[in-house]
A and B are shown apart, each in its own frame.
Chain A
Amino acid sequence: MSPTILVADDEPNIVISLEYLLRREGYTVLIARDGQEALDVITRDKPDLVLLDVMMPKKTGFEVCQEVRAVESLQGVRILMLTAKGRDTDVAKGMALGADAYMTKPFATRELVEKVAEILQRQA
């Protein structure tokens, strides 16, 4: 069975590309439009990887990340943070809160695909 990836971002314009891209790569793609929805989907479907945007309504990516890491049963979920915040302090915070990797927008989709593959590999 192909790995499941949740794309959590409130920008439909990036979601559309990410969804298309990941489907092409053969993953099962789930979508969440805000922090709360992301948390719900993660709890319910336990995806293998979450592409988590930091700036989202209702709950920020940081909050979602922290809450996921607090739940024992969700430890298998990998988190790749995507953000427009480019400051090194934000990267440090994301990693400290339990993200597996961090990518700053904008990024090349090829790099993203490689990163996703690498993280899933790590898990396996």
Chain B
Amino acid sequence: MKLDRRLLLAIGVIGLATVVWLLLTIGLIASTLAPAQRALVAEQLAPRFVLIGMTWLFGLVAIGATLRWLFRRYASAPGRLLEQTQVLLAAPKAAPMNHHGTKETRALAEAIFQLAAQRDSLREDVATQITNANLGVQQEKNRLAALMAELTQSVVVCNLDGRIILYNSRARLQFKALSQAPTLAGGAELIGIGRSIYAVFDRQLVAHALESVQQRLSRGAGSPSAQFVTTTQAGQLLKVQMAPVRNVDEGSAEITGFVLMLDNVTRAFEEEHLRDQLLHGLTEGTRSSLASIQAAVDMLAYPDLEEPMRERFLAVVREEVQSMSQRINGMTQKAAQGLKARWPMEEMLGSDVLLAAQRRIEARTGRSVTLENQDASLWLRVDSFSLTQALDYLAMRLVDEFDIKFFRLRLSANGQRGQLDLIWSGQAMSTETVMSWEMDAMRFGVESTPLTVRDVVERHGGEMWFERERVRHEAFFRFLLPLVSVQEQFEVLQNQSDEGRPEFYDFDLFQTTDQTSALEDRLLGDLTYTVFDTETTGLNPSEGDQIIQIGAARCVNGKLLKQESFEQLVDPERLIPAVTIPIHGITQEMVRGKPKITAVLPAFHAFAQDTVLVAHNAAFDMRFLQLQERNTGLKFDHPVLDTLLLSAVVHPNQESHRLEAIAERFNITVLGRHTALGDALVTAEVWLRLIPLLQALGITTLRQAREAAQKTYYARLKY
């Protein structure tokens, strides 16, 4: 143990003082003695001086020990307390101090600990509050996203730079229709978190709409919005409504982003156009014919008309009347084909319509209804409420007036339409009776509607009649109802299978702005990445090996967006060597009829637009992409990062930088390895974990990352 200097000083002073005291005592005693006595004492004491020195030394040691004990007890205890308090200060959570000291310092230690404990509980409170607040915010975000997901209207939210922050599944479908490669990229090259909306809409158009919103806002309009209609590259007509996203502060006119509600009006517009054309043709054509007829008739009225002229005028009248009839027939046909019912209909699976009708009829009439669905894949476009109402009403009249006991509902396809029959057996009834029901307003006890069965049928653009099957003693009402086209069915199914609310939003993007600095100097955490992988027929692209699958995922704002992935098998236009099949699991059979690389690469290029490409052992994949540049005319000149090299930067002492080894190191669960998308997803996870590790090494920008990768040992190897 180190001796305190103050303690040594004190002991020295006491030693000196006792020596002085001893000498003084001896001097005083000596001065009272006679010289003979003094000599005798000196003579007696002289040989015993050592003894005196010994007692002095002993006394000094005793005093020193006492002092040291006192010093430790009273002077160094506060010092130790200080150190312990400092520990407490730095600790995230206070532990009771094991302090040995005086009563006073122990009490002090206790008080300090209590203060620290108070601090801890305050800290915890704040943390809990923050967590709760965050949770609330997160919940609100989730709720909003859920709401959006359920909307049947397409919604896209963008920040001021036009980067997409949120979109719903409806919008995704809509964009799929806009995509020029719908079967390949499926619109994922157009819509995606962090992608620019200007890939779809003209920047000027959006800017103009935003400006007019801003103007209205500054004039104090409550909820300003703007509208525009635009044609897309794929020739679709979109009606877009824009509403601003404003700063949360009350009264602030600052816009931080905008909401776009999209409506594909192509079909509606075409119908409108057709209707216009029909009307136009009808009026103009009819006017001309009428003019000819009227003039001819006027001429015929002259009494002095010669016979040949009379014949000619009569011929004019006959001809024009005939052409008018033809025209009107043509119109009606076109109108019936082209014009769909304007009542808002919903697409429903036929069996769901049957079930709904069954439940309703059974509940009201108490009669049993059996179902016969002859084509389970039928989708109907119906107003299901009024349709079940009509079926129910007819069943009710049958029960009331003819006491029918059992009903059957049968659904089957009938050409372009669905055929829904309400069947019963029993006594014969006159067609006039039952068909008169269709013109009665439907009434159910006290509940009545102004609608008739006929109205319902017309609303569906369908037909309805009564038919008898004498052999089986059965009769039925047959409804012809519109079917949903295969394309629309696909949309409906997609809409329904799009489970839940995936990562279709990233509100953090509200905070980011497009930086003017070049990509090279952007922070790694701010960039958008396309992480991809390819499966190939072999290792040597220069010797004719080809890509057979491309998989890719997007990373935006440090998050992996699994929903926005790209996966496509490619027909390599050559045989897949049998030895490679166990590696990638892709057989000749699987690539048959798939698009060729020249069709797939443009879609992938669009998917990767404005992003940094990331791949494991990127040089290999890039060789394959670049060898196709001449065929497709597309340059893959994106910045490229290689997770293999960057892993070597971060962990230079590891032996293996194979994807599996790195994934194991990072504890990443590997699913579907050795499919292109499976590997791309693992690579993406690896990349997201590498970013903070690179940052810890001071590698924060894209440029630094690329330079660091170049310097690794692996980068010097040739492939």
Contacts and interface: CB of A to CB of B under 8 A. Distances in A.
A43 interface: no
B316 A86 contact: no
B250 interface: no
Nearest to B296: A17
Contact of A110 (B287, B290, B291, B298): B298
Given A13-B316, A16-B312, A20-B309, A84 B295 contact: no
Nearest to B288: A84
Contact of A17 (B284, B286, B290, B295): B295
A21 B299 contact: yes
Interface string A77-114: 00000101110000000000000000011111110000
A16 B284 CA distance: 20
Given A13-B316, A20-B299, A110-B298, A55 B293 contact: no
A71 interface: no
B319 to A, nearest CB: 6
A11 interface: yes
B283 A17 contact: no
Interface string B300-315: 0010000001001100
A124 interface: no
Interface string B274-298: 0000000001111110111111101
A105 B312 contact: no
A84 B293 CA distance: 13
A76 B476 CA distance: 75
Nearest to B293: A106
Contact of B295 (A14, A85, A86, A104): A14
A30 interface: no
Interface in A54-69: 55
B288 A11 contact: yes
Given A11-B292, A105-B288, A105-B290, A17 B299 contact: yes
A84 B291 CA distance: 8
B285 A109 contact: no
Contact of B298 (A13, A17, A55, A82): A17
A12 to B, nearest CB: 9
B320 interface: yes
A13 B296 contact: yes
Contact of B319 (A13, A84, A107, A110): A13
Contact of B292 (A14, A20, A21, A108): A14
B292 A17 contact: yes
A13 to B, nearest CB: 4
A85 B281 CA distance: 10
A18 interface: yes
Given A21-B299, A84-B285, A109-B294, 18 more contacts: A13-B296, A13-B320, A14-B288, A14-B295, A17-B299, A17-B313, A21-B295, A55-B288, A84-B283, A84-B286, A84-B291, A85-B284, A105-B290, A105-B291, A106-B287, A106-B293, A108-B294, A109-B299
27 contacts: A13-B292, A13-B296, A13-B319, A13-B320, A14-B288, A14-B291, A16-B296, A17-B299, A20-B309, A21-B298, A21-B299, A24-B302, A55-B284, A55-B288, A84-B284, A84-B286, A84-B287, A84-B288, A105-B288, A105-B290, A105-B291, A106-B290, A106-B291, A106-B293, A106-B295, A109-B298, A110-B298
A-B pairs with the 8 shortest C-beta distances?
A105-B291, A17-B295, A84-B287, A106-B290, A13-B292, A109-B298, A106-B291, A84-B284
Interface of A: 11, 13-14, 16-18, 20-21, 24, 55, 82, 84-86, 104-110
